[in-house]
Amino acid sequence: MLSILLAVLVVLSAARDSHAEKRIGVIMTGDVPYYGAMHAVFVSALKKKFAGDDEIEVILQKPFPNAISWSNAARKLIAFDVDLIVTYGASATQAVLYEKSRIPLVYAGLYDPDQAKVSGKNVTGCGFKVPMSSIIRYFKHLKQIDTLGIVFSSVEEDSVRQYEEMKVLAWQQNIKTEKIDIRSQTGLDQVLAKNADAVFITGSALVHLWIDDILSILRKKQIPAADIFPDDLDSGVLMTLFQPPQAQGQMAADMASQILLGAKPGNILSYTFRDTELVFNLDEARRFGIDFPIQLLIEATKVVK
Amino acid sequence: MRCSLAAAHTGLKGIVFCLLMCLVCPLAAPAFAVEPPKQLLIGIEPEHNIFDQMERYRYLASYLTDQLGVEVKLTIMSRYGEVIKRFKSLNLDGAFLTSYTATMAIKELLLDPLVHPVNLSGEMTSQGYVFVRRDSGIGDIKGMRGKSIVFVDPATMEGYLFPLAYFRQHGITDMRREFNRFYFSGSHVSAIFTVLDGRADIGAAKSTVFNKLANDDPSIRQELRIIAQSPKVPEVTLCIRSEIDSDLRAKLTAVLLQMDKTPQGKKVLEKFQTIRFVKSTTADFVKVEEMAREARAAIEEHGK
C-alpha cells in the first residue's frame, strides 16, 4: 500500500516538474492588502510575459509578521530551491538577505530603498517613498496639532525609519510626538493610553494586522488618523497618502522576467516610486467634526463620501 | 434774381447745418465732459481661497467708497483665462489683474495701469518659479524630460507662460512629446502641494505664494528645489478703463498711494495684507509681453 502511495507521489511530482519550468517563491512581510494588490499585478504581468513559453509556478508565503516567521519562510523557499525569490516589504527582504542564498532576489513595497541596506550582486527591486511632511501639512489645515501620535512597530526596520523621519519633521514644526510601538496585540493598549491631536500610521505589517482595532480605539478617542498604506476597505482612516501598489507589482514582474531570462540582478537598476495618491474620507471627517476646506478637498485624487 | 436765389439757397444750407449741429451736439457732449459715475465696479481674479480674498478686498472697497464719494463694488471674474471676456460682459470699470491678464487687458481693452501693492515681505513684484522635489534627482532641464509637470492656468505668467518660455529657450518645444504628462492645477498653492506630495515631478508657480507657504512651513524649502526663476513683474495691478473720468482716476490713484500715511488707511492696508501701493506704468509689463511672445511661439508650434 505504502509503495503504491509513494509511486503515485513520484508520478505527481514528476508531472508537476515537467510543466513548472520556473518556480518563484514569494514572501509578504505580512498579509496586508497593499502587498496583496502588488502581488496580483506581479502574477498577472508575469503570466502575460511567459504566456505560451515556460510555465511559472508561484509559491506564496504570508508569514505572521515576526522575525522567526520571516526567517522560516525564507529558509523554506531556499530549501525548495526556487529560481527566484520575490519579497514585499523590508522585513521579508532582510530575512532572505540574512540567509545569504545564491537565489536571485527581487524586492518590492520597500520604503525608501536607498536608505534600506538591501544591496548585493544578486539583489534588485523597487520601492516607494511618500513625502510625510505633506501629512503634517494637511493635518495642520484641518485642526490644531500640538501632539502627533506615531503608530509603528520596532520589529520592522522600515516602520522604524518612518517613525524616525516623521519625528524629525514634527519636531521641525514644534509638534510633540507620542511613540506608539506595536510589537504584539497587547501593545494596542498604548493606543488607548496615549493622547494626541492626530495619529500617523506607518507602513507596518504588524500594525495593519490590527488596523481595525486601532482605528476603533482612535475613533472612540476622537483622534483622526493618516496612513501611508491605502484604506481600500474604508476602515476609517481620515487621510491616506500612498504610492499606488500596481506600478511596483508591474516593475517587479519586469525585473523578475529579465532575471528568469538570464539577466544578472546586479545589472538591473533598483527604482524608487515617488508618485502618490491622496485620499480624504469625508465620512470620517464628519465623525470627528472636521470640516474639510474646499481648497484642500481639490488636492485629493479621491474623496470618500 | 438768380443771385438772390443762390443767396437764399446758401442761407437755407446754413440753417440746416445749424439745426443738425443742435441735434448732434447733445449726443457728442459726454465725450468731452464725462459725468463722474455713481459707482465703480471692480473685478478681482480668483485666488486659492476665494473667501479670504473677498474679505481682504471688502475692507479696501469700503475705504475707497468713503474716500471717493463713489460706491466701489467688487465682483469675482471667474477663471483666470476668461478675464478679458468677463471684463466686457460685466461692464467693469476696472480690475485688480495679475501680470499676464493685465498685459492683455492693457493691450486689448486699453486699460490704464494705476497702482500695485507692496506685500508684507516688502515685495512689489513676483517671479515665476519652476521647481522640483530635492529627492527627485532632477537637477536641470535634461532631468525633466519624460517626467510629469503641473502648471497653474494657461492665463498665468508665473504658472504657465514663463515655464513655457523657459523650456523653449532650453530646446523643449513640444510638451506632449517631452513630458510624460502635464496638466493645470487651477491655483499656485495647489501646484506647490502637488509637487510636494509627489503627484507631479515638476511644478510652476509664483514666488510670492511659494515664499509665503515656505515661511509658514520650513519643510517646503527643505523639500523643493527652485530650478528656474523668471524676471520680476508686478504681481497684481489695479487697471482702470481709460474712459473713466480723469478727475476720478486721479483721485483714486492719490487715495491708494496715500493710504499708508493715514491711520485709517494703514488699518485697511493691514487687512489687505499690504504695506502700501506704488504707481504702475505700462512699461512694467514689457517683460511679460516678451515672455508671452516666446510662449505663444511654442504654443503655435505644438498647441497647448
Residues pairing with B279 in the sheet: B115
Residues B94-136 have pLDDT tens digits of: 999 989 889 989 998 999 999 999 988 888 899 999 999 998 8
**What pLDDT, on a 0 to 100 scale, did the predictor assign at position B30?**
44
- Write the pLDDT tens digit of every residue in B62-77: 999 999 999 999 988 8
DSSP SS3 for B44? strand
Compute the average pLDDT of residues A187-209: 91
Phi, psi dihedrals of residue A85, rounded to the nearest 5°: -115, 135
Mean pLDDT of the A212-226 span: 94
**pLDDT above 50 for B25:** no
Q: What is the pLDDT of residue A8?
A: 44
d(CA A24, CA A260) in angstroms, rounded, equals 10
Per-residue pLDDT at A245 = 97
Under the banding of pLDDT at 50, 70 and 90, the label for residue A131 is very high
- CA angle centred on A71, ends A67 and A75, rounded to 5°: 175
Query: Which residue in chain B is spatially nearest to A166 when comparing CA positions?
Result: B219
| The predicted structure's pLDDT at residue A257 | 95
DSSP letter string, B91-131: T-SEEEEEHHHHHHHHHHS-EEEEEEEEETTS-SEE-EEEE
Residue A13 has pLDDT above 90, yes or no: no
Question: Which chain B residues have a beta carbon less than 8 Å from that of A133?
Answer: 196, 217, 219-220, 223
Cα distance between residue A260 and residue A249, in whole Å:
16
Name every residue whose Cβ is closer than 8 Å to that of residue B36 and which is 6 or more positions away in sequence.
Answer: B70, B245, B247, B248
pLDDT at position A209 is 93
User: How many angstroms away from the CA of A85 is the closest CA of chain B?
Assistant: 29
Helices (H) and strands (E) in chain B — how many of each?
Answer: 13, 13
Residues in A touching B134 (Cβ below 8 Å) = none
Model confidence at B297, pLDDT cuts 50, 70, 90, reads confident
CA max distance for chain B:
103
Query: Which of B199, B213, B221 has the most A C-beta neighbours within 10 Å, making it the best mutation to test the interface with A?
Result: B199
Partner-chain contact A133 B218, CB within 8 Å = no
Contact criterion met (CB < 8 Å) for B199 and A274: no
Q: What is the pLDDT of residue A175?
A: 95
Instruction: Determine the pLDDT at residue A54.
Output: 67
Q: Which three cell numbers stand for residue A47?
A: 503570466
Give the per-residue pLDDT at B302. Answer: 57
The three cell numbers locating residue A154: 520596532
- Cβ of B198 within 8 Å of Cβ of A293? The answer is no
- Minimum mean pLDDT range among A1-15, B179-193, B234-248: A1-15
User: Do B133 and B226 touch, CB atoms closer than 8 A?
Assistant: no
In this predicted model, which residue has the larger pLDDT, B297 or B238?
B238
Global pTM value: 0.79
With 70 as the cut, is the pLDDT of residue A43 above it? yes
If one compares A46 and B33, the residue with the highest pLDDT of the two is A46
Q: How confident is the model at residue A192 (pLDDT cuts 50, 70, 90)?
A: confident
3-class DSSP assignment, residue B227: strand
* Chain mean pLDDT for chain B: 84
pLDDT of residue A109: 97
The predicted pLDDT at position B121 comes to: 85
What is the full DSSP assignment across A186-208? GGHHHHHH---SEEEE-S-HHHH
Strand B71-76 versus strand B39-44 pairing type: parallel
In this prediction, residue B151 carries a pLDDT of 95
Burial zone of A198 (CB within 10 Å; 0-12 exposed, 13-18 middle, 19+ buried)? buried
In the chain, the amino acid numbered A51 is: A
Cell output for B189 = 498653492
B195 touches chain A (CB under 8 A): no
CB within 8 Å: A274 and B219:
no
Q: What is the mean pLDDT of chain A?
A: 90
A16 has a pLDDT exceeding 50: no
The residue assigned the cell 443762390 is B6
Looking only at the bridges linking them, the beta strands covering A277-281 and B202-206 are: unpaired
B239 contacts B94 by C-beta, under 8 angstroms: yes
pLDDT top residue among B200 and A7 = B200
Report the gap between the CA of B207 and the closest CA in chain A (Å). Answer: 19
Interatomic CA distance for residues A189 and A212, integer angstroms: 14
> Is the interface score ipTM higher than 0.95?
no
Amino acid A157: pLDDT: 94
Confidence class for position B207, pLDDT limits 50, 70, 90: very high
pLDDT at B27 over 50: no
High-pLDDT (> 70) share of chain B, %: 85
> Rounded to an integer, what distance in angstroms lies between the CA atom of residue A239 and that of residue A231?
9
Residue B15 pLDDT > 50: no
Which has more pLDDT, A126 or B137?
Answer: A126
Q: What is the pLDDT of residues B214-264, one digit of tens each?
A: 988 888 999 999 999 999 999 899 999 999 999 999 999 999 999 999 999
pLDDT for the residue numbered A66: 94
Q: How many Cα neighbours within 13 Å face the side chain of A178?
A: 17
* Predicted confidence (pLDDT) per residue in B165-179, tens digit: 999 889 888 888 889
For the residues A170-190, what does the mean pLDDT come to?
90
Residue A80, Cα to own-chain centre: how many angstroms? Answer: 25
Identify all chain A residues contacting B188, using CB atoms and an 8 Å cutoff.
Answer: none
